[in-house]
Every structure is written in structure tokens, then in C-alpha cells.
Structure 1
Amino acid sequence: MTDTPTYDIVILGAGSGGYAAALRGAQLGLKVALIEGDKLGGTCLHRGCIPTKALLHSAEVADTAAEAASVGVNLTLDSIDMAGVNKYKDGVVARLYKGLQGLVSSRKVDLINGWGKLVAKDTVEVDGKQYKGKNIILATGSYSKTIPGLEIGGRIMTSEQALALDEIPKSAIVLGGGVIGCEFASVWKSFGADVTIIEGLPNLVPNEDASICKALERAFRKRKINFKTGTMFKSATQDDNSVTVETESGDTFTADLLLVAIGRGPVTKDLGYEEQGISLDRGFVITNERLHTGVGNIYAVGDIVPGLQLAHRGFQQGIFVAEEIAGLAPQVQEESGIPRVTYCEPEIASVGITEAKAKETYGEDQVNVVEYNLAGNGKSQILKTTGFIKLVGVKDGPIVGVHMIGARVGELVGESQLMVNWEAYPEDVAALIHAHPTQDEAMGEAALALAGKPLHSHN
């Protein structure tokens, strides 16, 4: 019998949260084991954020080509070469994967390939071999959910199968109008497909500010992306040629394929968590604000912890826990201060709380709101985009929410994050110099308006 290797940290799962914890832990001089049954980088790198955004970039290029004549460039969009699109997408993933492998190796993290299970409060077992950790980090990620009775297969798929398609569907039904659903709908429409989104809640992207929801719906109507909100799914049937969806209201829709994009569930089943006394709620691991499970020295990060299921949230949590274990007492990050981006066309970006939440929190008469229309921004005119930047502020107080829609507004969320998390006052932001001509100028203009001294608007 061989001795059980012992580490300062054993991490179960090598997605964004897990590998960030491993890299930071090793950087702090801790001995780290990183266990992964699939590929280093997890869902985000291989089946989520990165390949999806590569598809979205191909879609943006297609849109640019289709609209080239409007800016004086004569060219034609002959076709979408899906084999070429996939080659580009897979190449991006492969380069990032290789770079991540090199990083983990250079930091001397022990990468253990295999499916791990928690078998004691300080031990993870992989293929019959045990690894002891003075600290354990659970980072097992999430999976694409489906509706009970709706079986994935054939023409009914989740985002993982959709990313591997080798041809563009002529038509598609998207079940779910959240981030994933709207991004795929946007891509397929740019590639020439006829798309219909079915969403049970009253609006698309229902977690966003109400004005953003309405603006996206207007933009999607203009793009001829069909959608039915407030509509509950009833059933789906498929044959060799198509799939048909029936809703609770009696409507039927038929298309080449059905994308099920109703969210992601935590991967925690049969991993030994409950047996070791860890509390689960609907499969999610319950932790305190410092991400400790309340059992031994076991922490949890990423999509298995209730809250926003975002790769950068898991990444930050991984760093946080590594620093917590090292005794650095890192600062807790407020959930509302995490930036959120939906990469459809037009893009959506937000950080902080919505107007409705602000009024609920501070009182209706204590909230000031400004919407700065991108029509007044020079770079937005050059990009031929519409949309707005909305700032939500507390009277005589800080900016508590930033909500944006328009081409490439995701690139503005960095400043927005600083504004909200550092509790900047409108006059603080208004005093900053925003480079011209950039869309970032619109942020300065919105802040000027919220500070009561609008320059290019009538607020």
C-alpha cells in the first residue's frame, strides 16, 4: 500500500474557479493538487464562454460584411463556411488551452486527471487513489439543464451540442431567453437562420434592468428575431426532418432544431458532499460569505455556489479562497458588484443594481436615473449602433447601478465596475477625462447629466 500524498490544497474541478485557486495557491507557496476528469479549463474554455464568443465574433464579421455597402465598401457575403468557422473557434480554444497547461505546469501544480470524489473531510479519491488536503476546494462546476421529460438528443440539444454543429440550421427554436439563448439566437440570425425564442418570463434577459429588456426586444424585432415571452413550454416532438414545440397556450412552432437554454445546474450529485456533512440546497453548496462550507477546511467556489453563474465570478472566488487559506484575509466581493455581459447583437453590459431594486432599497424619491442615448456619441455613430447608457444613483450619494446596451458596450464595463464598487459619486466620474472619440465618452456624458450638468443631453 502506497502512502497517501498530502497537499496544502486539494481542488476538485479545474474550471475557472478551480484553476484560479490552484495558480494563486501555488504562487503563495502552497503545495496544490488540481483534479479534473475532463480538460483543464472546464466548461468556460471548452464548451462555454470562449467557443461561444468566437462564434459571436464570426457572426459580427458576417454582419459587417452584409452592411459594408452602407459605409462605402463594396463586397459581397457569399456564404458562411461552417467548417472554417469551427476551425477558427477550435483554434482559439486550443491556443488558450495550451497556454493554461503551460501556466499550471510552470507553477508546479500537480494536475491529476480523473473523476474525483470527496471520501473524507480531508480526502479526495480518484480512480481508487486517495489525496489528502489540509484544505479542500470544491469547484465542480455546472451542466446544461433541461426540462423533466424533455430528452436531449437528435434535433433537441443544449449549448454544448450547438457549439459542435457542422452546418447552419435554416431555422431554430430557442427555449429560454436568457444570456445563452439570446447569444445563440443572435449568432444564428447573423448566419441567416430563422430564429424563434420562447421564454416563460415576461421579458427577454429577465435579470436585467427593465429598460434594457425592452431595448433588446426592440432590437431583436428590428433584426427579425422572433420571440414569445410569458409563454410556457409544454412538449416537443421530433422526426428525421424537424422538431415541433407546443406551448401551454396552444401555439406550435416547427424548426430544424430546438436549443434548450433554460440555465445551468450545479454538478454536485454523487460526489460525496452530503456524506461529509456539507449542506446542499437544490444541489447548490451552501457556504458563508467567505465561501467556507462549515465542514472541516472545505470551501466551495464557482457555479456550485448559489448566485451568478459567471466564469469571472468563479475565477475571483478561486483567488479569494486561495488567499483566505494563505491567511491574507481578502476582501469579500459583493455579488451585485460583479459585472455581467450578454454578447448578443446589440451587446448588454451591467453592474450594480437595477432601477427597480434601487427604489426598493433606498425609496422612490431617493433615486436619480439618467439614460444617455448613444445617438449623441461620435464613436457610436461611426459604429452605426444604437442604444444607451443608464446610470442609477442615490440622491446626494453614489452611483449604484450601470446598465448599457449597444455594440461593444461590454468593453465599458471595467469603468462601470470601478464606479459601483468604489461607490463613486456622479461628480467624481464627470470630472474624469474620457478619450474622444470613444463610446466611453458616453459614460462621462451620463455622469455629467446625473451630476446635474448635462452637456450633450437634456436630462
Structure 2
Amino acid sequence: MDTDNTSIAPESDVIVIGGGTGGYSTALRAAALGLDVVLFERDKVGGTCLHRGCIPSKAMLHAAELVDGIAEARERWGVKATLDSVDWAALTSTRDDIVSRNHKGVEAHLAHAGVRVVRASARLTGPRTVRAEDGRPAGREFTARRGLVLATGSRPRVLPGLEPDGRTVVTSDDALFAPGLPASVLVLGGGAIGVEYASFHRSMGAGVTLVEAADRLVPLEDADVSRHLARGLKKRGIDVQTGARLESCRRTGEGVVAVVRTARGEVREISAERLLVAVGRVPVTDGLGLEAAGLAPDERGFVPPADWSRLETAVPGVHVVGDLLPPPSLGLAHASFAEGLLVAETLAGVPSAPVDYAAVPRVTYSAPQTAAVGLSEAEARSRSYDVVVNSMPLTAVAKGMVHGQGGTVKVVAERDGRVLGVHLVGPHVSEMIAESQLIVGWDAEPGDVARHVHAHPTLSEAVGEVFLSLAGRGLHQQ
């Protein structure tokens, strides 16, 4: 793979700015379709997901699951196991090895595809031209014959006065790389990121307080998902405070002292060794030179497409993927892959279906996990659907009893019509959601699903039972 930018020819069919999931998937697909591609990346290909987000965090959450398993073995199954200690250096070494191998794999894929990587920041100088900002007095200019793809991603939102220092105040970008395991953590933000990090630190023995300003956790999900998730986290000893607001926070020699106003109006002072700020992410467009291409971000910092079926901006030939897109895009890595495929195929003149965001699964990898696809019950009712809902606890099936961690399956459907949404809480539901993705994406009706036999005993059996009942063929659900 090229490391000397001066050796890369300045003209190509497509220029992609940003080597994260959306950017490199665009580059790989475009190259596979015979287009000549230049990819700009100022850091490492793979982006936030690979290096600071999805992959390292899920590696650490797997380690947390193993720790939880030791406690379950001892307390529930009579296996007299104890946790001696957590070797933080060994744990992080394994995490880093997983990230490194994935990184090398992405680099190898790009090299094999013939994608030329420019190791530099990019600045637009026109709708088809980009200058490499690589520290040279006069950066080289690159030209795209077919189009530009903006994929510069996002960064954690930072609150005034709570700027991260990588040790006492951290964001999701650096929380897993802060030194050692703190004895106590205050997590500000109860979305998927905040919940996952709260779950991890609790598994590792930290005292955890989770503060969310909305009246429930993961507020974009179904209300029943929020309720079951909060119950599971509280059962694990996490102090969950919803409808609560941070009024002030100061750093001390031992960590932070925060003043929080609870939902009841009470004022609490919370001390913690570490504060994790997980209040969302913001698009990265600074230094990109959007104005030179005739573009401007909206009031939230997003670069909206004029045509969602092509993810093309108001400037012809300039496309957007990933975290630069506003809703209904989801800011999820797997959605970015789909967006990259769409844009690459559009630029190559290959027919490609628009991304169906309603059929993109959403997962929180905490303990318990949550997974959902499609509309929540409230969303379905707000759109005037005649809704029928059915739910079933995972512990109503034998495998759910084996796991003993609670959880639920909830299905939202049109009365005498298609399935609108499926919502899961419990162990391993991140691996169970794929079936429901197809159910929602293919506009299946409960009777269509009920015809298919689910393996016994499995957790997925509960999904099958819910659909059997909706189709009027219930067995175990009364």
C-alpha cells in the first residue's frame, strides 16, 4: 500500500475522503466494479469503529462476559470458581491484537483491490478536486472524473468545562485506553454507548452510576426495551438515574465530584474516579473546505443529501456516507457499509436499491443486550397504524430458563398485516436479530413466520412463539 503520496497519480474515477467503514466500503466496492479509486485517510484505515469504537469495545465486553460467567458459575451452578484478578495489561494486549489483525486485513483488502491510499488530510478545492494536506509547502491536488465521496465520520460530543484528559474525564474514544480499571465510574449519557460502558465497568467490579437526561435509557428504542434494560442493569448493581441532569462537576485529586439533580428534584453529589461523557457524537467537517465544492453543513453539522436514493448532495457527483448523514441514517457502522455499497454502485452506473433504514438492526451490547429492527410501538401508533402487539419473556422457554438472565421478545405488527418492528432484550439477542431483520425487511406477516420451525431448545424459540400466537396458532403462550 502506498505510503508516499507523491507516487500516487493525481487523477482517478473516484475520490473517497475518510477511511472508516463508510469510506473503505465505498472504495472497495467501486474498485471491484472497475473504477480507479483514491482514498484519503489522515489516520488509520478502519476509522473510529475499528480503532476506538465497535471492535475494541466489543472485545472488552466479551472479557466482561467471561468475568460475569465466573460469578454465575459460582452463585448459580455450584461451580466453585473465583476471580483472582484481572490482568489489565494482558486484557488490553488481546484487545489490541484483535484490532491490529482487523486493521491489517482492511489494508490488505484495499491493496488487493488496487485502491490507492493518500496518507493525508483532504481539503476540497472544488466539486471534483481535492488537495492533500500532508505538511508539504504546496499540497498536491487530486481530481476525480466521476465523483467525490465524503466519509469523514464523527467525534464524541464534548461538554463545556468537561474537556477530556484521557484519565479522569474520558469519552468513548479514549475510555478503553485510559490507564487501569477505576474503582468507580460516573457515566453521563444513557444511549447505547453509555450503557455499554456502564455495563463493562460494572462487570469489572467498579461502582457505576449512569445518568440520563431523558426519562428512560436508550430513549430511541421501544419503551418496553428501555424498561427491561433498566431493570437488568439495576439488578446488576448499577445506579441508574433517568430524568436526571448534571448541574456541575469539578475535578479533584481522586477523580470528579458531580452534582446531579434527579427526576424527583433531589440534588445528589456523586464522587467517582472517572467520568465518562457519552452524550452523542458530532460530524467532522472542520478543515474539509465544503464551501469550495458549493456545500455547507446544516445547523447540526450534517451534510444532507438532496437525493437519498443515491446519497448525492445538491452538488452533482458529490456523495455522502456514514456519520455525516443526518437521520434517517443511523450513525451505525453496518449502515455505513450499506451506504458505501449504494454510492459505489451509483458512481459505477450499476442499479442499486436505496438503503432501507427501517430494516437496519440496532444493537446495544451491554448485559443484558438489546436488539431491535423496525418501528417501536409508539412510532407505529403515531403513524396511525392499527397496531397489534405481542410479548413473551425469554424465561418462558427452556433455554431462557437455562440462561436465567430474564429478557423479552416484543413484536409490533399491523392488525391483519405486516410486521412493523421486533424488539429483543436479553442474553445473545445481538445474534438473534438477523431473523427479525429479514422479517421486517421483507414485509412478512406473522403467519409467514409462524410457518417456519424454530430449533428447540433455543432462545430464538421465543421469537417463534410470539409469531405463532399472533397468527392464532399459539402453543406455549396462553
> TM exceeds 0.5?
yes
Alignment of 1:140-155 (within 5 A): 140-153=152-165, 154-155=167-168
Match of 2:361 among 323, 328, 339: 339
Which residue of the partner structure matches residue 312 of structure 1?
A: 334
Which residue of the partner structure matches residue 191 of structure 2?
A: 178
**Is residue 374 from structure 1 mapped to residue 387 from structure 2 by the alignment?**
no
Q: Distance in 2 between matches of 1:328 and 1:389?
A: 39
Alignment of 1:71-150 (within 5 A): 71-126=77-132, 127=134, 128-134=139-145, 135-150=147-162
Q: Secondary structure at the match of 1:243?
A: strand
Query: Tell me, which stretches of 5 or more residues in structure 2 are unaligned?
Result: 1-5
Q: Secondary structure at the match of 1:160?
A: coil
Number of residue pairs matched? 456
Contact map agreement 1:279 1:286 (CA 8 A) in 2: no
**Is residue 322 from structure 1 mapped to residue 355 from structure 2 by the alignment?**
no
Q: Secondary structure at the match of 2:476?
A: coil
Q: Secondary structure at the match of 2:40?
A: strand
State the one-letter code of the partner of 1:350: A
Contact map agreement 1:399 1:425 (CA 8 A) in 2: yes
Q: Distance in 2 between matches of 1:396 and 1:427?
A: 10
Query: 1:434, CA displacement in angstroms?
Result: 1.4
Contact map agreement 2:184 2:274 (CA 8 A) in 1: yes
Residues 257 and 371 of structure 1: is their aligned pair in 2 closer, same or farther, counting only changes over 3 Å? same
Q: Distance in 2 between matches of 1:331 and 1:104?
A: 24
Query: 1:414, CA displacement in angstroms?
Result: 0.7
Match of 2:453 among 410, 418, 433: 433
Contact map agreement 1:266 1:303 (CA 8 A) in 2: yes
Q: Distance in 1 between matches of 2:419 and 2:472?
A: 14
Match of 2:172 among 144, 148, 159: 159
Which residue of the partner structure matches residue 206 of structure 1?
A: 219
Match of 1:412 among 424, 432, 440: 432
**Is residue 194 from structure 1 mapped to residue 207 from structure 2 by the alignment?**
yes
TM-score, normalised relative to structure 1: 0.97
Tell me the alpha carbon deviations over residues 86-141 of structure 1, each in whole angstroms, 9 at most, x when there is no partner: 01111110111111111111111101111111111101111301111121000000
Query: What's the Cα RMSD here?
Result: 1.5
Query: 1:45, CA displacement in angstroms?
Result: 0.2
Tell me the alpha carbon deviations over residues 406-448 of structure 1, each in whole angstroms, 9 at most, x when there is no partner: 0000101111110001000000001012122221211111110
Q: Secondary structure at the match of 2:12?
A: strand
State the one-letter code of the partner of 2:62: H
Query: 1:194, CA displacement in angstroms?
Result: 0.2
Contact map agreement 2:28 2:110 (CA 8 A) in 1: yes
Tell me the alpha carbon deviations over residues 7-49 of structure 1, each in whole angstroms, 9 at most, x when there is no partner: 1110000000000001100110110111100001000000000
Q: Which runs of 4+ in 1 moved over 3 A?
A: 1-4
Which residue of the partner structure matches residue 43 of structure 1?
A: 48
Q: Distance in 1 between matches of 2:382 and 2:277?
A: 33
Q: Distance in 2 between matches of 1:337 and 1:3?
A: 39
Q: Distance in 1 between matches of 2:380 and 2:322?
A: 26
State the one-letter code of the partner of 1:370: N
Contact map agreement 2:8 2:118 (CA 8 A) in 1: no
Query: 1:240, CA displacement in angstroms?
Result: 1.8
Query: 1:180, CA displacement in angstroms?
Result: 0.6
TM-score, normalised relative to structure 2: 0.93
**Is residue 245 from structure 1 mapped to residue 258 from structure 2 by the alignment?**
yes
Identity %: 43
Query: 1:2, CA displacement in angstroms?
Result: 10
Query: 1:396, CA displacement in angstroms?
Result: 1.0
Tell me the alpha carbon deviations over residues 193-246 of structure 1, each in whole angstroms, 9 at most, x when there is no partner: 000011111001111100011111111111110021111222211122120112
Q: Distance in 1 between matches of 2:339 and 2:8?
A: 32
Q: Distance in 2 between matches of 1:150 and 1:72?
A: 45
Worse overlay, 91-100 or 398-407: 91-100
Alignment of 1:48-59 (within 5 A): 48-59=53-64
Residues 147 and 172 of structure 1: is their aligned pair in 2 closer, same or farther, counting only changes over 3 Å? same
Q: Distance in 2 between matches of 1:184 and 1:251?
A: 22
State the one-letter code of the partner of 1:148: P
Contact map agreement 1:82 1:166 (CA 8 A) in 2: no
Which residue of the partner structure matches residue 30 of structure 1?
A: 35
Q: Distance in 2 between matches of 1:437 and 1:33?
A: 50
Contact map agreement 1:122 1:296 (CA 8 A) in 2: no
State the one-letter code of the partner of 2:237: K
Residues 132 and 381 of structure 1: is their aligned pair in 2 closer, same or farther, counting only changes over 3 Å? same
Q: Distance in 1 between matches of 2:246 and 2:290?
A: 33
Which residue of the partner structure matches residue 218 of structure 1?
A: 231
Alignment of 1:396-407 (within 5 A): 396-407=416-427
Query: 1:315, CA displacement in angstroms?
Result: 1.1
Query: Tell me, which stretches of 5 or more residues in structure 1 are unaligned?
Result: none
Q: Distance in 2 between matches of 1:247 and 1:376?
A: 39
Residues 138 and 71 of structure 1: is their aligned pair in 2 closer, same or farther, counting only changes over 3 Å? same
Q: Distance in 1 between matches of 2:126 and 2:210?
A: 45
Alignment of 1:219-298 (within 5 A): 219-248=232-261, 250-281=267-298, 282-287=300-305, 288-289=307-308, 290-298=310-318
State the one-letter code of the partner of 2:268: D
Contact map agreement 2:127 2:292 (CA 8 A) in 1: no
Which residue of the partner structure matches residue 395 of structure 1?
A: 415
Alignment of 1:358-373 (within 5 A): 358-363=380-385, 366-373=386-393
Query: 1:76, CA displacement in angstroms?
Result: 1.2
Q: Distance in 2 between matches of 1:3 and 1:263?
A: 37
State the one-letter code of the partner of 1:90: D
State the one-letter code of the partner of 1:395: R
Contact map agreement 2:8 2:116 (CA 8 A) in 1: no
Contact map agreement 2:48 2:173 (CA 8 A) in 1: no
Query: 1:4, CA displacement in angstroms?
Result: 6.5
